[in-house]
Structure 1
């Protein structure tokens, strides 16, 4: 991302009112349920990372499930809203203000990485691979290419959308539980849940 990106998001969040209501993405909740069917599920020792977390709703929800969660975003204003919400809900999250272009996680530190409504083909895959331990989970959702066909779409640049098989190609070292396109009332998204294979680079 860039300084104009940071300024744009800070301006957006500066207009937002603080809220204590936690509204996780529905795909996060469903994917966590699927993880529970495939493994022992989330534990108090589970380390999770939310990339481009925005107001932090997904990170806060993961913390409410008992996980130890870190969350990264470029916007100081967005993170301030997230901190207030986390405090109101009496959970702790490690909030990290950083540009993902310049940020590197500790290698193999996390059991789960979540990415929602963010797509950078050059940046995200290396961060995910650095962050996730072998056997760790990736939950991903962002706009599908079919979003461009919607008359109500605010997305007009194909660069910000995914083709149906693209996440399979970006993460070939993952065993895929789900890779699907979902048409929702307000958007069309690509959803992915995969588990990093042991020995993946």
Structure 2
């Protein structure tokens, strides 16, 4: 899949939270630093900035980042956009109060993602899952997220309909 082509055809989108946080906004702080990993068009990054967080957003696709910049400008918020290939690791250093990673699964990044959290920081992860789906090489197995982030205080752990969601806090 060519993400640049996909993003170029999609438009900038609208700011919004990760689905797992709908009805659970109280789990996130409204101040501090936030990181959106594999941010795509930046809809979550812009939403985090609207909540009052200082946001870094990382993606490998220049077209997605351009749409994110357009959305941030339209919404009047600032986001620090970083173009980076996540297969080469995370291009940021820690101390984040919120780390979000939506629909990008790389188990090699699980420990580094948790390592970016500041004390009390919240991690929000959604990946494709075999639970409730036919499966495939990009899908997490049952319980994968809970096991990967067992050192964190798990606040939400849901699997089904082909997705797995985890919200956890570093105590």
TM above 0.5, yes or no, is: yes
SS of the residue 1:101 aligns to: helix
Structure-2 change in CA distance of 1:101 and 1:140 (3 Å): same
What TM-score do the two structures reach when normalised by structure 1?
0.76
> Contact 1:51–1:72 at 8 Å: present in 2 too?
yes
Residue 57 (structure 2) aligns with: 71
1:32 to 25, 30, 38: 25
Residue 14 (structure 1) aligns with: 8
How much has 1:22 moved relative to structure 2?
Answer: 2.3
- In structure 1, how many angstroms separate the alpha carbons of the residues matched to 2:20 and 2:64? 21
> Contact 2:111–2:148 at 8 Å: present in 1 too?
no
Residue 165 (structure 2) aligns with: 191
1:59 to 45, 51, 61: 45
> Contact 1:115–1:141 at 8 Å: present in 2 too?
yes
> Contact 1:104–1:130 at 8 Å: present in 2 too?
no
- In structure 2, how many angstroms separate the alpha carbons of the residues matched to 1:27 and 1:73? 21
SS of the residue 1:111 aligns to: strand
Residue 47 (structure 1) aligns with: 33
RMSD (Å), alpha carbons: 1.9
Structure-2 change in CA distance of 1:24 and 1:134 (3 Å): closer
Structure 1 residue 85 corresponds to structure 2 residue 68: no
Q: How many pairs does the alignment contain?
A: 170
> Contact 2:60–2:85 at 8 Å: present in 1 too?
yes
The answer for unaligned runs of 5 or more in structure 1 is 36-40, 150-155
> Contact 2:43–2:68 at 8 Å: present in 1 too?
yes
Residue 141 (structure 1) aligns with: 126
1:161 to 127, 135, 139: 139
What TM-score do the two structures reach when normalised by structure 2?
0.89
- In structure 1, how many angstroms separate the alpha carbons of the residues matched to 2:11 and 2:56? 23
